[in-house]
Structures are given as structure tokens and as C-alpha cells.
Amino acid sequence: MITYAPELPDLDLTAELPSREGDRIIQFREALREAMEEEMRRDKRIFLMGEEVAQYNGAYKISQGMLEEFGEKRIIDSPISENGFAGLGIAAAMAGLRPIIEFMSWSFSLVAADQILNNAPKMLYMSGGQWGCPIVFRGNDGAGGQLGSTHSWCVEGLYANVPGMKMAIPSNPYDAKGLLKTAIRDEDPVFFLESERMLGDKAHVPAEEYYIPFGKAHKMREGDACTVISFGRPVHFCMDAAERLAGEGIECDVLDMRTIRPLDIDSVIESVQRTGRLVVVDQSWPFASVASEVMAQICERAFDYLDYQPVRVNTEDVPTPYAKNLEAAYLPNADKIVAAVKQTM
């Protein structure tokens, strides 16, 4: 029986440093490490497996020092075979362990798609509830900075289509730790999507233990002109855009969704009922994206409250460019979000 730690009130993630007394300011990668360490000390069934997680301390130094504490039976270097170690993790979860499987990039998870999409999410259903698959798949998602088309996948639009799993996409160190602890304790498969470009970001993280429940959005900024929602790294672009718009007298509601499986659509509806306008920012391609799903649900459930059609800001509908300037133009940014909000006005 798993006992959850207390849920702390949300920090004001928009406040200037320093914030709450007693909080530490740590990096995104350190927050991830703390979440795994705390849960591994609590439950000996948990282990971490992936490429370079042990001897090399992690490709991005997320698992630094964990081999020394937990040993080679719980911090396990794998071959370069995502299909192999993802499948091993699924079997271990079905047998009673609680694996954390690290993909160096979610782009590489595509070679394990049969394991992680066709097996893990369906085990509980196909076994008639006899056994599930409590496993966490985590790693870097999206364009990491001039990595080219095949190494810059944003998989949320593709993978979120599959029922039976959950998906968390944190935008800051506080959420990264709280959501990952929740993911590790969850009885369902959880896809945990991080961003290489945020691993060095610093923010306040409480010293006391806490977790963040899935399916609960965080309001980053309050306004009545337009609802702007996003998740992961683009949340920062939304906040930049909202600050610029406020200088012109346009105050936006900004929601960080935190998880998209489950999706807190009720919070979006509540906001749209006040603002009458919606802009969805999503770093996936536009066709069949998370933004598409949010817009569809809003049109189905809150159409009468809209004063203008919902607008989405996605990456451009092309393979990810390698050139730095083209990659920047391809991704969502504050300029595009400002333009989208003004379009709804």
C-alpha cells in the first residue's frame, strides 16, 4: 500500500528569486534526481535503467551519484537498444518491480514503440485487472538545439493518443520533482517528458517532501482578455508573451497544464468562460496535435462562451530544421503567441 506524501500549495512560479523562506534554489536536473532518490530510498523495488545512467552519471548528469548510493543492481547501464531495455522494464513491472526507464531522447523511443505503446498501456485491460504495469518512461523530448529532424521529436501528439497510460510534461524544477514522485508511485505506465534545454534552469524547490497530483493545471498568471494554455518549455514563451501584452493593456490568463493525460480541461473551460478567447501553445506539429484535441474539446463543451475561434501556436508543419535560425523560426515563440492573442482580439 503506497502512502502519498502531502500535497503542498503551489509556489508562485512567476515570482522573482528568492521566494519562500527555507526553499532551495536547484536545477531542473537536480530536482529530477531528488525525486528518484527519495522514492528509491522509500521502495527497494524501484530501479533506474538506461544508456549511460550509471558509470557515466547520466548523459545529462541527471543520475549523478546514484550508482554510488544504490549500487549496480538498481542503477543499470543498458546497451544501445531501446526496444530491449524498454521491454525488460515492462516485464519487470509486470513481475512486481517498479522500473524507471530513461530514454536519452524520446526520439529514440520510436524503436521501442511496440513495447511502450502496444504492450505497457494495455496490460491491465487485457489481463482483466489481474496485473498492471507500474513503470515510468522518462527522457528528453523536443528540439534540443540543432540535433536535426530525426533527433528532435515531440512525441506527445503521437503518444497521447493511446489510452491506458499517463503523460506528464513539467515546465520548471518544482513541478519536475513533484510530478516525477507522483509518476513513480502511480500504478499505471507514465510517460514523463523533459526538455534538454531546461535541465539547467533553476527555481525554488521545497526541502520537505511533496507531490503534485496529475490532472491539475497551475494558473501562472491571471487576466480576463484571453486564455493562453501550454505545457513544458513553451510555458516560458507564454509568460514572456503575456508580459509584453500586459504592457499594451491586454491581460491574459496563462495556464500550465502540467499533464496532458489526464488533461485538466475543466480549468481551461473555467478560464474561457471568463475570457471568451483561447490560444493553445504546443511544441508538437499542428496536425492531430494536443492543441487540436484541446480546441476540439473546448468547441464541444464551451462553444457558446467563445467570442472568437480558438487559435493554436504549434511548430511549423515541416521536419525540424538543423540550421539554428531556421530551428528558432520553426518553434513556438513569444512573437507568435503575441500575434495569436491579438488575432483573437
Separation in Å, CA 54 to CA 63, 66, 74, 78? 7, 7, 9, 9
Specify whether the CB–CB gap between 236 and 175 falls below 8 A. no
Sheet holding 311-313, edge to edge: 218-221, 252-256, 226-230, 278-281, 311-313
Sequence-ordered list of residues with C-beta below 8 angstroms from that of 272, at least 6 positions apart, any chain: 227, 278, 298, 302, 305, 306
Separation in Å, CA 196 to CA 33, 75, 193, 201, 240? 15, 21, 10, 10, 20
Nearest to 263 by CA among 237, 296, 287, 236: 296
CA separation for the pair 311, 309 (Å, rounded): 6
Active-site annotation holds for 248: no
Sequence-ordered list of residues with C-beta below 8 angstroms from that of 324, at least 6 positions apart, any chain: 146
Of how many residues is the chain composed? 345
Specify whether the CB–CB gap between 211 and 178 falls below 8 A. yes
What angle, rounded to 10 degrees, do the helices at 234-246 and 334-344 form?
A: 60
Nearest to 173 by CA among 125, 150, 138, 205: 205
* Burial status of residue 285 (CB atoms within 10 A of its CB: 0-12, 13-18, 19 or more): buried
Active-site annotation holds for 204: no
Candidates 39, 82, 156, 293; catalytic one: 82
Specify whether the CB–CB gap between 281 and 254 falls below 8 A. no
Candidates 37, 151, 243, 316; catalytic one: 151
Q: Which residues are catalytic?
A: 82, 151
